[in-house]
Amino acid sequence: MALKSALINVMVNAATKTARRMMRDFGEVEQLQVSKKGPADFVSTTDLRAQRELKAELSRARPAYGFLMEESGSHEGSDKAARWIVDPLDGMTNFLHGIPHFAISIAAELNGEVVAGVIHDPIRDETFWAEKGSGAYMNDRRLRVSARDKMPDAVFATGIPFLGREGHAPFLATLEAVMAEVAGIRRFGSAALDLAYVAAGRYEGFWESGLSFWDIAAGIIIVREAGGFVTDYHGGYENLPEGQIIAANDLLHGPFRKLIVRADKAAAKVAPEAAT
């Protein structure tokens, strides 16, 4: 049985406690009060309540930590070196449409480095978690990225730009290039779970741009602790500009990144303003 540290226990307990109320709301999704936050981007009472509950639980355990949260931004704590990075409901559009695929994502950052991450799927009761140097797990089972080493055998996940988001044409060019090389592409609507699934070997990889740090912070360390690689499109490891991310198993990250870069450059020639 996997032994969780005190830090991981704090994060898992906060996520699972918040998830219980979230599941009750999901059962009454049609009655939720929903307000527009932007084109095709909604915030619900569930999202805001989950954020408050997560902040309260995490603050109770680590009162000195600051926060970076989707709905309220950055808040510095008395310990300037430590903060929580939280997405209270990743997959909001799925949730609001009654699609059972969404997650709570929590990462712990110390001195600018993410050292622990938890992604909790309330529907499947799957908790993906990792701490630096200790491996990655789903509930109590050790995770390892897939061992597939050929692109034609691989399945990749992505996110698709929607109404109000730029980059539709470059994305379609990249999608066409990837489609020609791989066994399949999936788009399920939760970047956090996409990364968790890479760590679990369910996908060989995942790519997307335009994400926020709270979307991917927990997933990055979970993939890396499961033996995978996570970089930006140009191979950068430390900082992922504008949420530009390529995550894959250790065998396919290199060729997959090269495929994405080639497609990205080809798209930029057609639409120079879309160059990364």
Identify whether the C-beta of residue 108 lies closer than 8 Å to the C-beta of residue 117.
yes
- pLDDT 10s digits, 221-236: 999 999 999 999 989 8
Q: Where in the chain is the domain with CATH 3.40.190.80?
A: 151-274
Identify whether the C-beta of residue 47 lies closer than 8 Å to the C-beta of residue 32.
no
Which CATH number is 6-142's, of 3.40.50.150, 3.90.1310.10, 3.30.540.10, 3.40.718.10?
3.30.540.10
Look at 58-67, 93-102, 140-149, 245-254 and tell me which has the smallest mean pLDDT.
93-102
What is the residue whose two structure tokens read 């830090």? 7
Q: Where in the chain is the domain with CATH 3.30.540.10?
A: 6-142
Q: Which pLDDT value is given to residue 275?
A: 46
- pLDDT 10s digits, 6-17: 999 999 999 999
Stated pTM of the model? 0.92
Q: Does domain 151-274 have CATH number 3.40.190.80?
A: yes
- Sheet-wide strand order for 141-142: 73-75, 66-69, 82-90, 103-110, 113-121, 126-131, 136-138, 141-142
Nearest-angstrom CA–CA distance, 205 and 132: 21
